């Protein structure tokens, strides 16, 4: 089993999820408390009071002027996690501090660093600029997945499953039938899987959103930066159309499908998904259609992966599998996950 890599950045939430109230989410088995201060900064600290471990996200704990007051005995903490008041005495124990997490908010995502904070390098966070770019319209969601994150990585790195699991939505026969090219950049930590279908059936997901009729050129270029961020650059165009040599691509529709694969625990995952498009920007009907359809597709995966999790969880380590050509990208991703897992100091997983 591929363990949860530590000393890594993970998406904890969408920016829009965190306002001036207490918000809690477990990331890599660590319960984390978030809120947005009055100056607009998002803060992330441990969601366990240092006194008797009452969850600070739980009522009657509350936020008072950018300080969180524990609902059990009143320990009070600032946005940096430092305790500012304890009940009945003036001396505040020196160790009274909630563990703060390095945090970066960008591209409409809130990233936290899980592991040794000294190793947190914000510049290493992969970007998804289209998620909050004016040139795109984005729909997004998050589904809880009761399966280990590596099963979702396998799933997303091999899109041939679209043909079977997502037929009638995004799957057509050509997806499973078209050869892929896989590239792995060891230094940059990127797995790229490319499938270019030059004459393919247009699945409803794209026919209804783009209005293209008949057969299409459909390119899928996956860019996965383990462990968390997965981007699928999807290009839909009339058959025969290719981008211009200068990179412009006026006849094509571009859909950037972004997933953030964030472990909640060893056996559960936050399945963040977003679909950003560069066409029909103001068309609410297209937004509603893409949101509804992508969510349906994500839930088809969730259902299948939860079944799979129950199966593999009961099997002994080292169960038998059979890998074929379509798995080349998935094998590359697993290998890179194991490599970054091996680099870190191994810390026993909490549960």
Partner 1 sequence: MSGVPARRSMLSGDRVNRIHWIPGTDQLRAVCHCSAERDFEDPVQLWEWLLSHPDGHDTPPPTVRDVAPSSDRRQEVTIP
Q: What does the binding site for partner 1 look like in residue numbers (CB under 8 A)?
A: 1, 179-188, 190, 192, 194, 196, 198, 221, 239-240, 242, 318-325, 327-328, 331-332, 335, 338
In the list 7, 107, 264, 301, the residue contacting Fe ion (rule: CB under 5 A) is 301
Dist CA 288 CA 296 (whole Å): 12
| The pair of three-digit structure tokens given for residue 67, joined into one six-digit string | 């300080």
Nearer to partner 1 (CB atom), residue 98 or residue 229: 229
Which option in partner 1, Fe ion, ligand FES, none does residue 51 bind, with CB closer than 5 to 8 A by kind? ligand FES
Which option in partner 1, ligand FES, Fe ion, none does residue 301 bind, with CB closer than 5 to 8 A by kind? Fe ion
Question: Which residues contribute to the site for ligand FES (CB under 6 A)?
Answer: 49, 51-52, 54, 70, 72-75
Distances (CA, A) of 105 to 109, 277, 287: 6, 22, 24
Phi, psi (degrees; rounded to nearest 5) at 142? -145, 130
| The pair of three-digit structure tokens given for residue 115, joined into one six-digit string | 């592991």
Q: Which residues face 224 on adjacent strands?
A: 191, 230
3-state secondary structure of 251: coil
Nearer to partner 1 (CB atom), residue 120 or residue 252: 252
Nearer to Fe ion (CB atom), residue 47 or residue 162: 162
What torsion do the CA atoms of 104, 110, 116, 122 make, to the nearest 10 degrees?
-30
Which option in Fe ion, ligand FES, partner 1, none does residue 75 bind, with CB closer than 5 to 8 A by kind? ligand FES
Residue 158 in contact with Fe ion, rule: CB under 5 A: no
Nearer to Fe ion (CB atom), residue 49 or residue 261: 261
Give me the least distance between CB of 33 and ligand FES, in Å please: 12
Nearer to Fe ion (CB atom), residue 256 or residue 301: 301
Q: What is the DSSP string of 69-111?
A: E-TTT--EE-TTSBEEEBTTBSPPPTT-BPPB--EEEETTEEE
Name the site residues for Fe ion (rule: CB under 5 A): 301
């Amino acid at each position: 089993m591929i363990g949860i890599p530590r000393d890594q950045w993970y998406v904890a939430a969408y920016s829009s999820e965190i306002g001036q109230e207490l918000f809690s989410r477990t990331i890599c088995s660590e319960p984390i408390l978030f809120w947005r201060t009055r100056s607009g900064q998002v803060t992330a600290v441990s969601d366990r009071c240092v006194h008797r471990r009452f969850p600070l996200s739980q009522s009657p704990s509350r936020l008072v002027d950018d300080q969180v007051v524990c609902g059990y005995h009143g320990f009070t903490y600032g946005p940096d996690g430092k305790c500012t008041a304890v009940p009945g005495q003036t001396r505040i124990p020196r160790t009274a501090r909630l563990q703060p997490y390095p945090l970066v908010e960008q591209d409409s995502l809130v990233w936290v660093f899980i592991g040794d904070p000294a190793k947190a390098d914000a510049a290493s966070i992969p970007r998804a600029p289209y998620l909050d770019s004016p040139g795109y319209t984005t729909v997004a969601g998050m589904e809880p997945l009761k399966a280990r994150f590596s099963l979702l990585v396998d799933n997303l790195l091999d899109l041939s499953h679209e043909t079977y699991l997502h037929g009638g939505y995004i799957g057509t026969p050509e997806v499973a039938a078209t050869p892929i090219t896989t590239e792995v950049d060891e230094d940059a930590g990127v797995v790229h899987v490319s499938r270019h279908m030059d004459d393919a059936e247009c699945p409803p997901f794209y026919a209804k959103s783009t209005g293209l009729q008949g057969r299409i050129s459909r390119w899928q270029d996956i860019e996965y930066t383990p462990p968390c961020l997965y981007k699928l650059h999807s290009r839909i165009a009339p058959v025969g159309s290719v981008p211009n040599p200068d990179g412009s691509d006026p006849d094509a529709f571009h859909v950037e499908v972004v997933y953030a694969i964030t472990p909640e625990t060893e056996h559960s995952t936050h399945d963040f998904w977003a679909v950003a498009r560069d066409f029909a920007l103001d068309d609410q009907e297209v937004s509603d259609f893409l949101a509804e359809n992508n969510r349906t597709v994500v839930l088809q995966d969730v259902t299948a992966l939860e079944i799979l999790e129950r199966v593999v969880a009961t099997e002994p380590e080292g169960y038998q599998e059979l890998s074929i050509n379509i798995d080349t990208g998935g094998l590359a991703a697993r290998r890179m996950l194991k490599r970054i897992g091996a680099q870190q100091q191994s810390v026993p997983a909490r549960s």
